[in-house]
Amino acid sequence: MLIHEAVAEMVMTVEHHRSAFQNDVICLCCGTADSAVNPGRRLQIAVDTPYGRTQDPFVPRLLAKLKRLGFKGGPRWIWSYHNYGDQERSTDRVQYLRQALDDGGWRGLRRDGGPALAATEGGVRLATMRSIYRPLIGRELTHTEQLRLQARHMNRAFHEHRRSTGNGAGVTMYTQYTVAADPNFDTGLREADGAARPVFDTFVGLEGFDPHDPLPSTWRPEDDTFVPMPGGDGRIEPPWV
């Protein structure tokens, strides 16, 4: 792997200018993805987790290089990452990332007993809703069904991150990628033409951080009960239709 060398130089350059001019701007590093692609590109699987394995993860390599370069960090540095997988599938990749940062000696802002994180990109992709639910119901989902599921998954994911424990521990920023839908990467809050989607109302109705959020919804996709429809043709009725 070579890319960690270049990224470390970028971090050191930014820190040099920030400290030289006594600038209190918040600096983010390093926008790592939470992909489960296996085997993946080095930046796609940033840390080794049960959801995606790599023999040469990026995060430990970068942290070791920063240590050798004398990176001092401090409270003006926050680790940034993407959290599509945790939003869509209720996984806990963020917790593995946070542990890897702690183990590697990341010298940034700390919150909730460990490294602070900024989820700078994430969302619930319609393509993922199709891949999760098509095997469960044995047919293609309608567009309306995909939109209902998108809103449902976002609501659950936000409440998982809203607390100061579990997936929410240390997370200081939670974002949504795109307002209008991109047909090639569709996480949009609204249709490409601006028409409403259920997830828009879900998103604007979300309330701020609460360290004591009781996680009102403990639902997961596998908890749904799928009932056979009349006619004996094998079709089933999803509970969210």
Q: Distance (Å, rounded) from C-alpha 192 to C-alpha 175?
A: 19
What gap in Å lies between CA 217 and CA 70, rounded to an integer?
45
Domain assignment of residue 20, yes or no: no
Per-residue pLDDT of the chain (241 residues; tens, 9 = 90+): 788 999 999 999 999 988 888 778 899 999 998 876 654 454 567 888 888 877 788 899 999 999 999 999 999 999 999 999 999 988 899 999 999 999 999 999 999 999 999 999 999 999 999 998 888 888 899 999 999 999 989 988 888 888 888 898 999 999 999 999 999 999 999 999 999 999 999 999 887 766 666 654 454 555 555 544 444 445 555 554 4
Q: Considering the domain boundaries, does residue 9 fall inside one?
A: no
Record the tokens describing residue 127, joined without a space.
Answer: 């393509």
Is 229 among the domain residues? yes
- Closest C-alpha among 56, 29, 46 to residue 100: 46
Domain limits for position 210:
25-237
Largest CA distance in the chain: 74
DSSP annotation string for 14-67: HHHHHHHTT----EEEEEE-B---SS--TTTB-S-BTTB--SS-HHHHHHHHHH
Domain-located, residue 34: yes
Q: Is residue 110 part of a domain?
A: yes
Does residue 5 lie in a domain region?
no
The count of structural domains within the chain is: 1
